């Protein structure tokens, strides 16, 4: 019984193998191209994702991008209290449409984005701390360092805000002020270039 099954299996395997060999002899080049292309596509997607992770999408040639105006899209890192993008770069005085696409799936992962007019850690921590107490205002406190902010986004929701980048080249922090998120590292840096 067992050996008969095995024989059948070996036989079938041999048939498949010889078929495969035959086919690849017949159309070697074509078959290779066929089987490789899905992999390559996957790789491209992965690379795209990685790149976004590092730089945001400010420099990605969004439609409508110009010296005067650009669109930047930020996302959370899965269901972590982190931005996927460590930072993005804009030009001094450029109009920036900042979109936050809350791609999180966990109900607890509500986020906002506050653009600060400083790169100072202490100020960012202060804004985050005050934000914790501003629940009625989407955790956005009154603070001079806040240049612009989105509203609080639910998982699956997109929020946006348009602001003008500072004229002063330099680094400016952006943070999420949902309780504990800044403290957990939900912060990034906008670089303003001349």
Cα separation, 22 vs 45, in Å, equals 33
CA angle 57, 59, 62 (to 5 degrees): 70
Which pair of structure tokens corresponds to residue 24? Answer: 């690849």
Output 174 or 178, the one with its CB closest to Cu ion: 178
Output 88 or 178, the one with its CB closest to Cu ion: 178
Contacts with Cu ion in 138-177 (CB under 5 A)? 176
Shortest Å, Cβ 142 to Cu ion: 20
Q: Which of 44, 102, 41, 50 is nearest to 76 (CA)?
A: 102
Which pair of structure tokens corresponds to residue 78? Answer: 């899965």
Number of residues that bind Cu ion (CB under 5 A): 5
Does residue number 186 form part of the binding site for Cu ion (CB under 5 A)?
yes
Contacts with Cu ion in 46-105 (CB under 5 A)? none
Residues 15-44 vs Cu ion: string with x where CB under 5 A? ------------------------------
**Positions in the binding site for Cu ion (CB under 5 A):** 111, 176, 178, 181, 186
């Amino acid at each position: 019984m067992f050996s008969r099954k095995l024989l059948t299996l070996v036989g079938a395997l041999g048939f498949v193998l010889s078929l495969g060999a035959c086919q690849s002899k017949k159309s070697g080049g074509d078959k290779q191209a066929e089987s490789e292309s899905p992999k390559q596509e996957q790789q491209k997607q992965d690379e795209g994702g990685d790149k976004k992770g590092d730089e945001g999408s400010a420099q990605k040639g969004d439609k409508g991008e110009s010296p005067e105006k650009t669109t930047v899209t930020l996302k959370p890192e899965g269901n972590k209290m982190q931005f996927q993008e460590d930072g993005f770069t804009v030009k001094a005085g450029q109009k920036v449409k900042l979109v936050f696409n809350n791609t999180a799936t966990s109900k607890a992962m509500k986020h906002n984005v506050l653009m600060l007019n400083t790169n100072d850690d202490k100020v960012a921590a202060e804004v985050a701390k005050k934000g914790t107490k501003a629940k009625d205002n989407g955790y956005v406190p009154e603070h001079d360092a806040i240049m612009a902010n989105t509203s609080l986004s639910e998982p699956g929701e997109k929020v946006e805000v348009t602001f003008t980048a500072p004229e002063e080249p330099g680094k400016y922090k952006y943070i999420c002020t949902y309780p504990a998120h800044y403290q957990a590292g939900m912060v990034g840096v906008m670089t303003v270039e001349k």
